Structure 1
Amino acid sequence: MIDILLATYNSSQFLDETIKSLLDQHHTEWRLLIRDGGSEDKTQEIIKKYTQQFPGKIVSFHSAGRSGTCENFSVLLSKSSAPYVMFCDHDDIWLPDKISKSLSCMKEQQQKYGDNTPLLVFTDKRVVDQTLAVIDNSYFHYQNLNPANISLNRLLVQNVPSGCTMLINRALADLCRNIPKEAFMHDHWVSLTAAAFGHLVCLDEVTILYRQNRQNVFGASKYAWRYFIHRYRQGGYAAILERFYQNVRQARGFYDCYKDLLDQEKKEVVREFASLKELSWINRRKVLLRHRIFKTGLRRNMGMFLWI
């Protein structure tokens, strides 16, 4: 059995398509847990329709007021009890073999590492526009991401696995059940936890259509010089610096949560990165170099070393 976690907010435009793509999965042993963050459109009507049509298989939870994506996924993770967990965005289309392929890969990894080892399987995704026209056949290519860069030190500054492509086992789900407010996003926190205590495995196949639209909380932009220029023009130095230090604050929260469980080497990496803001200009760069805390791509790393 797999618990699929779906967080919604004003999702009525594409939610029907998303849920139908789940219902069309070849693997049918799953339960959908939905938490709405206080939608003001017809999202809750759509959710009610499916919970009534598929009682027990589709279950909904409502927040008391407005709640964000990370909080919604954290609550849903605490409600989950299945041996495996997947995360679903409210506007994507799952290809029919997404669950079956991910689960097959996961079971191979469990044979290799054991059921009690925290494991995360992730895949590529096809980037499409609102009408599902293809923008790029590979998210990794579109964003210039290397799916091999999934060690803890690399993930501290750049998350590679997307939550909507993840399948995690119960050992990992239990470890990251309560995601704190310091987490930048749920999938980044889950990736860090897997890297710290278990293994991440990339299944190099496309399993979803990743829709780019104005409602995306965090969308994808093509990796190119004009992207960096656009980011600078949007918010300037302060905005770029703030985004970087969101990772640092997340690392501080991660250290506080897991310092008693981390091995000495990983504890040192996380602790020093979490203290980055307190260091001098030269010592900040020494920490990044000493622990090889790099992003994918020369331009990203040039920017990081220039701006922090």
Structure 2
Amino acid sequence: MIDIVLATYNGESFLAEQIHSIQNNSGYKKWVSRLLVVDDGSTDATCSIVKELSLHDEKITWIENTTNQHGPSNNFAFGLAQTQSQYIMLSDQDDVWLPEKIQMSIDRIKQLEIESGSVPILVFSDKEVVDEQLKIICSSYFKLQNIAKNWHLTFEQLCQQNVVSGCTMLFNRVLLNKAMPIPEQAYMHDWWLALVASRCGKLELIDKPLIKYRQHNNNAIGLNQRSKLNSIIRFYHYLKQFEQSFLKIIEQAKAFEIFEQKNGLISNKTIKSLANVRDLSKRQKIALLINKTITRSHLLGKVALLIVLLKI
């Protein structure tokens, strides 16, 4: 009933450990149809590792991304298009799944389907942040990032700052059919899926870490650890990153406006504000900050947001 899409690119260092952790999940034998390893052009031993493991597990399927669209988001989007099962999970190549991840996720989504019917549904979990040797950096992603665990409950907040990690997700086919194809302007595949679930169905947090989220030098998408002192020292660098990120959020909002129109949804005020923010006067931009139409979850982000809004 579940297809797992595991995206790879030169993942030889931790890939076998990750696949073993998935196989050792309590629900793997019962629920998983296929483990789709979707590769983005690896030149290391990734292919040989997967093919060796597939000799002992017929669920493992090697798929090469033969499109001209590369990078983590495009590779996952390609992998999603190869799925067939009723439910889908996403996996990075360097994490470790905790033994109850599959079973807890499927139990929760099935309960939500009983309660809500055939609507787009996505469940996701917290995650332990660990170093290369799996030593805990922080027991909770939300705690480390200083983000409230209820942030995702409000679509207007979620469309500005994502807290839903693809590596913690399980979602249904109804959501995938609604969300695909993922537009090029989407910030990331997982954020787009979360937005569609929030807007059109159900999005729920399993308030428990279900993976060990490994941080190392080769992460394609890593975690920016925040400390107040570090943030102040590196504020200029942070501000440049924030501006680049915010410009991508604007483009994603424009794409979501089109999604709303195609699906007959009432235009969301925050999405509309983000999509058109560059055309507003400075006074109008400040008004959006004051009334919290555009915001961030922490003080440093709010300061950066003010500076960027006045600049663009």
TM range (shorter): over 0.9
Aligned partners of 1:231 and 1:282: how far apart in 2? 29
Q: CA deviation at 1:159?
A: 0.3
- Range that drifts further, 282-291 or 254-263: 282-291
Aligned pairs, number? 304
Q: Secondary structure at the match of 1:259?
A: helix
Q: CA deviation at 1:172?
A: 0.7
Q: Secondary structure at the match of 1:264?
A: coil
Aligned partners of 2:11 and 2:64: how far apart in 1? 14
Which residue is equivalent to 2:305?
Answer: 304
Q: CA deviation at 1:155?
A: 1.3
Which residue is equivalent to 2:296?
Answer: 295
Q: CA deviation at 1:130?
A: 0.1
Which residue is equivalent to 2:49?
Answer: 46
Which residue is equivalent to 1:283?
Answer: 284
8 A contact 2:124–2:206 mirrored in 1:
yes
Aligned partners of 1:33 and 1:276: how far apart in 2? 40
Question: Is 1:82 matched with 2:78?
Answer: no
Structure 1 residues 230, 250: closer, same or farther in 2, change over 3 A?
Answer: farther
Q: How does 1:121-132 map to 2 (within 5 A)?
A: 121-132=123-134
Counterpart of 1:248 (choices 230, 250, 262) is: 250
The normalised TM-score by structure 1 is 0.92
8 A contact 2:242–2:304 mirrored in 1:
no
Q: Secondary structure at the match of 2:225?
A: coil
Structure 1 residues 209, 237: closer, same or farther in 2, change over 3 A?
Answer: closer
Which residue is equivalent to 1:26?
Answer: 26
Q: How does 1:1-308 map to 2 (within 5 A)?
A: 1-27=1-27, 28=29, 29-30=31-32, 31-55=34-58, 57-64=59-66, 67-114=70-117, 116-150=118-152, 151-229=154-232, 231-234=234-237, 237-266=239-268, 268-290=269-291, 292-308=293-309
Structure 1 residues 118, 51: closer, same or farther in 2, change over 3 A?
Answer: same
Give the aligned residue type for 1:36: D
Structure 1 residues 154, 227: closer, same or farther in 2, change over 3 A?
Answer: farther
Give the aligned residue type for 2:186: A
Aligned partners of 1:192 and 1:288: how far apart in 2? 22
Aligned partners of 1:129 and 1:149: how far apart in 2? 26
Q: CA deviation at 1:218?
A: 2.0
- Structure 1 unaligned blocks of 5 or more: none
Q: CA deviation at 1:293?
A: 3.3
Structure 1 residues 215, 199: closer, same or farther in 2, change over 3 A?
Answer: same
Aligned partners of 2:25 and 2:162: how far apart in 1? 27
Q: Deviations over 1:216-241 (max 9, x none)?
A: 1221233322343355343x644431
Q: Deviations over 1:127-183 (max 9, x none)?
A: 100000111111110111222111221112100111111111111111122112111
Q: CA deviation at 1:78?
A: 1.2
- Structure 2 unaligned blocks of 5 or more: none
Aligned partners of 1:66 and 1:51: how far apart in 2? 26
Structure 1 residues 42, 230: closer, same or farther in 2, change over 3 A?
Answer: farther
Give the aligned residue type for 2:124: F
Q: Secondary structure at the match of 2:255?
A: helix
Aligned partners of 2:305 and 2:239: how far apart in 1? 11
Aligned partners of 1:66 and 1:265: how far apart in 2? 30
